[in-house]
Chain A
């Protein structure tokens, strides 16, 4: 028992230390686990042969991962992505497989081994790539979207690959394995429902169990999960979710099918159910830990002997593989309209082999498809290519982006065909709403934005916009600033907003300038620069939400509206005083104690304004519709009473 605790402690410590470190270095968690494994395995020698058993156990993480992949696959989303998914993904996987297979055969491998290697190397690392996209905010780019479709296709392709690999088994390996297993067979017989069945019965059993998973998944799990959820115990739901996955995996193993295939199917069946997210959040931690464990064992299994003895071969394999993948990806881009930086992002991000490579390699060994010695070299090549991925992202950031930024942003400012009464600078979240509102009312606008991508995006949804830097006087001139009535400045960048406002108010005082400020201080700056109307970007939306909050707390909606108005009024009443204080303060410390004091005073006023139920003394909010005091009838005497 103590031994188990110690081992668990070693694995956990290694993960806890290495993974955050790797993430901080921009390497991603998968590499973190691998490094942790390398450290506790070959380097420190803390763990030994038992890693193999642990690896088999940890492979269950893959089964869970495929269940989660299935859950993510809403049929509707798949349908919308179909052209890129099948086109880009399908071509990438098949071309890469063929290319790798061809090279392997040239190097003298048999076609079965070559095909297996091709399939294994065609896959990329979903974990590393998606995580890097998230961290760098690249997921929403065209290139990122293309890469995502390919990764999704690869995740799905794992299922048929798992089914295909056993067919490639090498007779001599099978024989050797059978021979080795013979004397174990008596007390270690695989539990199986199908052993000894004739082929037609086997086929029937297989079909029946797949139907059972699909139909049962659709009709039985919902009532079951509803029943479990009604108990309101979180851990029981977790148990049910785990039970579901393990049960399907068990059923699949019993009939000799891939457990991963079964859980994947179940995941797809449940993707539309109301329990989708609940299931995801319950399975996710187990999957994360098991996959982490799996990667650690891969790292721990790295044989430095092999690595150093055939360093040249392994590096050659890795680099050659990445080169082939990049070339194929680049060749695919024109047909799918990926250009410029997107094209390179797409190609560079998917150049590595992936974590499924490890899974498939160990699966291939079990299925006697690849000899053990070969897989050790191959998995080192996979690992090296993953290690090199961050370098490719750095290459992308440092070399490719600047090059295209120059050409893209130094592209000639668009020819502006017409002038409008309103110039909208910046067509991001804020400018879009303003522009849509104006255009919907038939106001002629000219939209400028300095991000070429954004302009293209707007043009695609029929918003007429022009690429160009609004801080550039020449561009403002061609946009017709002389004839414009007003200009809306909705640029993100603080300094550029100020620059535009200052220039326009200085050069064209007749043009009204309405600007969005980031916060209070920025609003004062813009006011000082002469903006005619300034709105702090979050103010009204926050106030709106506050009003909704009051209503939800039981305030009468009309009352919350009044309180919102009172709040706004106090803000407006104090705006000038606060601005003056800010203006009088020194340049480097605008928010002086005096300003803070004034601000606190305003807060007090707010408190007063919000107080309710003061029937006879009018407050701001109670000002309206106040009934007269109860004794007010004494003021009136009817003529006939006197």
Chain B
């Protein structure tokens, strides 16, 4: 059994079509602590002690967000800047995050085909997430490729949401029950595209 800390950052939730249902779904799953950062810190006054304590109590950390300018919304960056302190997350004494698992669950407005060389976003999504990957590396966390939905503005109309929620659910349940074969994860492929291969049967 692992405890999953889901840090959700979405500054305009009244317009959210994908993230809000995903967040709602996550709240139903035992073992997942779902935190709405913008609700808890509407004026960005992040309580560092509380956030560090949360990290200590969980084995899996997920950033969940809509992609804003190839990165997280501001509060997640603020969270990193404040919570991942020297002596806590890094440095010779900072070992609190070592051994944990880290991943991003994101939605992107652009089509999947845009996120490649030659596409209008030029880079693949895992290239764009390198800062987060390196943050995980430096803090000793195991980095997983993102769980992502592209073309999010049209996903509901095209009926892609139910399947995505289904995947999300099985991913979270697998993380809670430690039935994800982390060693088999392909680094350059979306997590939601390889769930069948990496979720251990019968766990």
Contact = CB atoms under 8 A, between A and B. Distances in A.
B7 to A, nearest CB: 17
B48 A624 contact: yes
A171 to B, nearest CB: 84
Interface residues of A, number: 12
Contact of A635 (B46, B81, B85, B91): B91
A565 B45 contact: yes
A625 B85 CA distance: 8
Contact of A625 (B82, B90, B92): B82
A629 B94 CA distance: 13
B91 A632 contact: yes
Interface string B75-99: 0000001100110001110000000
Interface string A411-451: 00000000000000000000000000000000000000000
Interface in A20-58: none
B86 A628 contact: yes
A626 B91 contact: no
Contacts, number: 24
B45 A626 contact: no
Interface residues of B, number: 11
A593 to B, nearest CB: 31
A565 B41 CA distance: 12
Contacts of B92: 634-635
Contacts of A634: 92
A106 to B, nearest CB: 77
Interface in B89-116: 90-92
B76 to A, nearest CB: 15
B86 A629 contact: yes
Interface string A612-629: 000000100001111011
Contacts of A624: 46, 48, 81-82
B86 A569 contact: no
Given A628-B91, A632-B91, A635-B92, A569 B45 contact: yes
Interface string B43-82: 1011010000000000000000000000000000000011
Contacts of A628: 86, 90-91
B84 to A, nearest CB: 11
Given A632-B91, A635-B91, A635-B92, A626 B86 contact: yes
A632 B28 CA distance: 42
A632 B91 CA distance: 7
Contacts of B46: 624
Contacts of A565: 43, 45
B83 to A, nearest CB: 10
A634 B43 CA distance: 36
B48 A623 contact: yes
A635 B82 CA distance: 20
Contacts of A635: 90-92
B10 to A, nearest CB: 20
A635 to B, nearest CB: 4
Contacts of A569: 45
A641 to B, nearest CB: 16
10 contacts: A569-B45, A623-B82, A624-B46, A624-B82, A625-B81, A625-B82, A626-B86, A628-B91, A629-B86, A635-B91
Please provide the 7 A-B residue pairs with the shortest distance between their CB atoms, ordered closest to farther. A628-B86, A635-B92, A624-B82, A635-B91, A623-B48, A565-B45, A632-B91
